Structure 1
Amino acid sequence: MADAEREHGYARYRLDGCRCYTCGYARAQYDDNRNRAIAYGTWQPWVDAEPVRVHVRYLQSCEMGLRTIAARAGVNRKNLQAILHGRPERGTPAQQKVRPSLAASVLAVEPTLENLAPSTLISPLGTRRRVQALVAVGWPQQYLAAYLGMRPNNFGQMLTRDHVLVRRALQVRAMYEELWNADPAGHGATPAGIARARRYAADRRWAPVGAWDDEQLDDPEAFPDWTGHCGTNQGYQAHYHSGIPYCQPCRDGHRAHQRQLLQAKQAASSKAA
């Protein structure tokens, strides 16, 4: 599903990395409902079904089918249908109360990659960063394409598309976990091929493996820490001395530092006058 087809809300927040007000508010509502319902899990014998109903709809908006949700939660699919729609064959409306154990089980299900359908389209950000990081440390793209069972031209197109299949994202994540600390030369890459890969990545300012924490690779708001101090003037100086192309956070940190120096100089001049 393309951006133009997926409305702003929780699904857009989780699958496309959108951080607009509407998507952020939907995520906040999601968290409030989830936390409140988990707390309700201590109530006996019944709890409000509405947070469960909201959560199931959130999961469905993230392309999880009702059968998959029921399987992940370990509950009967008909129970979820009753919560959503009631039982039309019996003429009963949507269920208003549920057992705490069922509520807790359903609310524990999250739209992680492993829980989404393999054909679901998601943001390519984490996939792209992982591939770029491997190329930056010397992995030729044709080796990575072969690892994934892809043709080189299809592999290159994957890096430029607006979305990636969940199936492919999981494959790239597994590849990254296996190869991030491996020597390309030990897997058949030639010195010339390794040098070309590193040069190709450097020309495009692709961040290497060491610049990322694993939990940041899928975060749209995260940036690579090239120097260990990126985002500060110290990081800016480290870029200069190491010959690493300046990243935007270090440019911003340097400008802020320069403004602080100018303000301090102006303040000192005012006192002297």
Structure 2
Amino acid sequence: MTDRPHGYSRYRLDGCRCYTCGWAVAQYNDAREQAMRLGTWQPWTDAEPVRAHLRNLQSCDMGLRAIAAAAGVDRQRLNAVLNGRPERGTGPQEKVRPELAAAVLAVEPTLDNLAPSTLINPLGTQRRAHALVAVGWPQHHLAVAIGMLPRNFGAMLLRPNVLARRAREMRDLYAARWNADPAAYGATEGGINRARRYAADRGWAPVGAWDEDTIDDPAAVPEWTGVCGTPAGAAVHYRIGVPVCPPCCEARAEARRARKQLCAADNDAA
């Protein structure tokens, strides 16, 4: 018995003649006939872009099972696109259905569908951990929360890559505790203060300085002041005792250049 859902495929491949399968075939035939009348009938499309995308996903450590699940298609269909059907003596498919192509090409190697052991860029994980420490979360509390030994947690933050499963755990922990009180989870006042000092000494940005939409972006910088990237930003940095960030340095330099140009213009006019 097949576990294929009732519909067009089960009617054609498994011979099911139930109402649901029959109705699906009737709808398919109606749509096909209408598309043929309009000249838009395209039952097949080139398989090579699909094959190239599958190989790209595999290079990101996504297996066919994970890709098939993300695309909502049968794994054997993807295997046929890549390798053909040796038991039938056929090579890789040259053509595929447009709906299969669209489903596969829509799959991207996101954090949620990467294999747990995939090594990825650690930047987002580091930023989230640093931000939590900066607001008072002792590192050993964070380590315990994701099932790690404290010494291993600290080492993880120094490595050039991180396991995808650890990145997911740190992302979820950050989402749950970024605005929580560490004391409510057992952190002592002394531990909270030490965590804050530790982060401050290393210039780690707190949670309020990061936007969740850009915290994983290597080009993003923390928004320390609320006016970072403007001429007023540098003064706020000094007032709160935080080193001036690159956008504020650039804004300050640009303001100085503008003042010099204005003074030079005034001197020329005089």
1:177 corresponds to = 175
- CA displacement, residues 117-164 of structure 1 (integer Å, 9 cap, x when unaligned): 100000100000000000000111111111122111111101100010
- Distance in 1 of aligned mates of 2:132 and 2:115: 27
1:55 corresponds to = 53
Are the aligned partners of 2:227 and 2:233 in contact in 1 as well (CA < 8 Å)? Answer: yes
1:22 corresponds to = none
Deviation at 1:43, TM superposition (A): 6.1
User: Number of residue pairs matched?
Assistant: 231
- Distance in 1 of aligned mates of 2:201 and 2:261: 36
- CA displacement, residues 146-185 of structure 1 (integer Å, 9 cap, x when unaligned): 1122111111101100010001111111110111010111
Task: Show the 5 A alignment for 1:156-235.
Answer: 156-235=154-233
Q: Which has the larger radius of gyration?
A: 2
Q: With CA pairs under 8 Å and 6+ residues apart, which has the higher RCO, 1 or 2?
A: 1
**TM-score computed with the length of structure 2 as normaliser:** 0.81
Deviation at 1:82, TM superposition (A): 2.1
Are the aligned partners of 2:124 and 2:216 in contact in 1 as well (CA < 8 Å)? Answer: yes
Are the aligned partners of 1:43 and 1:100 in contact in 2 as well (CA < 8 Å)? Answer: no
Deviation at 1:244, TM superposition (A): 2.4
Q: Determine which of 97, 100, 119 is the counterpart of 2:98.
A: 100
1:247 and 2:245 correspond: yes
Structure 1: which amino acid aligns with 2:199? A
- Distance in 2 of aligned mates of 1:125 and 1:257: 31
1:66 corresponds to = 64
2:269 corresponds to = 271
Structure 1: which amino acid aligns with 2:71? A
- Distance in 2 of aligned mates of 1:174 and 1:148: 10
- CA displacement, residues 200-236 of structure 1 (integer Å, 9 cap, x when unaligned): 1111110000000101111111000001121221111
Which has the higher mean CA deviation after the structures are superposed, 145-154 or 243-252?
243-252
**Which runs of 5 or more structure 2 residues have no equivalent in the other structure?**
1-39
Are the aligned partners of 2:203 and 2:242 in contact in 1 as well (CA < 8 Å)? Answer: no
1:111 and 2:117 correspond: no
Which has the higher mean CA deviation after the structures are superposed, 44-53 or 224-233?
44-53
- CA displacement, residues 7-37 of structure 1 (integer Å, 9 cap, x when unaligned): xxxxxxxxxxxxxxxxxxxxxxxxxxxxxxx
2:140 corresponds to = 142
2:153 corresponds to = 155
Aligned-residue sequence identity (percent) comes to: 63
- Distance in 1 of aligned mates of 2:167 and 2:252: 36
**Which runs of 5 or more structure 1 residues have no equivalent in the other structure?**
1-41
